Structure 1
C-alpha cells in the first residue's frame, strides 16, 4: 500500500453546521453530495452577485443566504432604484413599467378601433377593402376601376363617400 492510498483511507470527511457551530463527521459519499449541492447553489448566487464568500470560506455555506454575512444585494434592484442614462434620465423601474402598460393599453385600444372600423367597412361597402388592397399593391385608381368594371370617377366617388361615412361614425379618430 502506498502513502497515497493510506492517506485517502484515513481521511475524515466532515461538514460544518453553521447553526450549531460544529463539525459533523460524514462518509465520503455524503460529503461529495453535500459539496455538489451547496457548491452549485453558491455558484448561482455568485453569478448574480448575491454571494461574496471567499474561496477559503466555502465550507461555511449552508444555503441560508438570509442570515449569511457574505450576502449582498446582487443584480436584483428595488422598484425605487433610479436609473440614469441618455434615454431615461432619473426613471425608476416602477415608472418604466407603468409607462409601458399605458403604451400597451393605447395599442390595444387602437387595434380594437381598427377592427371596429374594418367591420363597419365590411357592412357598408365591402368592395372598399379590395380597393385598399389593390392600392397597397401599387395599382392606380384607373387600373383598379378597370378591374372592378366601373369608371374611375365612380370608384373615387364611392371611396370618398365611404370615407365620409367612416368619419361620421368615428369622429374622435383621424380616419
Structure 2
C-alpha cells in the first residue's frame, strides 16, 4: 500500500499535512520559471530557487536517513572546513547541467519516501543521538517526531525565502 492508500489519523496525519503544505508553497514558488530564472540570485543573499529546492531535498533526505540509521547517516563534523563550506555553497546553487525539473523530481522522490517513513515508522518516540557537530549540543538525542518537526520547520522557513526570491525575480507571489 502507498501512503495515499493508507488512512492516517492523529499525529501522523498532522505531520504529513504540515509537511505537505510547506512543500507545496516551496514548489509553488518555482511555477513557470525557466532554468535560468531558477538559478538567478536576485537578492543580496546567495540563494536561488533551484538551490533552495536542492538544499531542502538534501536536508529531508539526510534527516530521514538519520531516523532510520542514526548519526552515521549524517556523519560527524569536528570543524567547519573550507571543503564543507564549499559543499554547502554548491548545495544552494543550481549548477551547470542541473535543471529545475530535475531538482523538483528529486525532491518529489525524497518527499514520497519521507511520507512513507512517517506512515510506517513503528515509534515516533524512538530517539537517536545527534552526530557530533559544532551546532548540536553534545550528547543530545532527537526523537523521530523531533526530526520530522525539524523537517517541517526547515521546509517552511525556506518556502518563505523562496517567496521573497520569486517576488524579486518577476513580481509573482505565492499568496496574496
Q: Same fold (TM over 0.5)?
A: no
Q: Which has the higher contact order (CA 8 A, sep 6+)?
A: 2
Structure that is richer in strand per residue: 1
Larger Rg: 1 or 2?
Answer: 1
TM-score of the aligned structures, taking structure 2 as reference length: 0.25
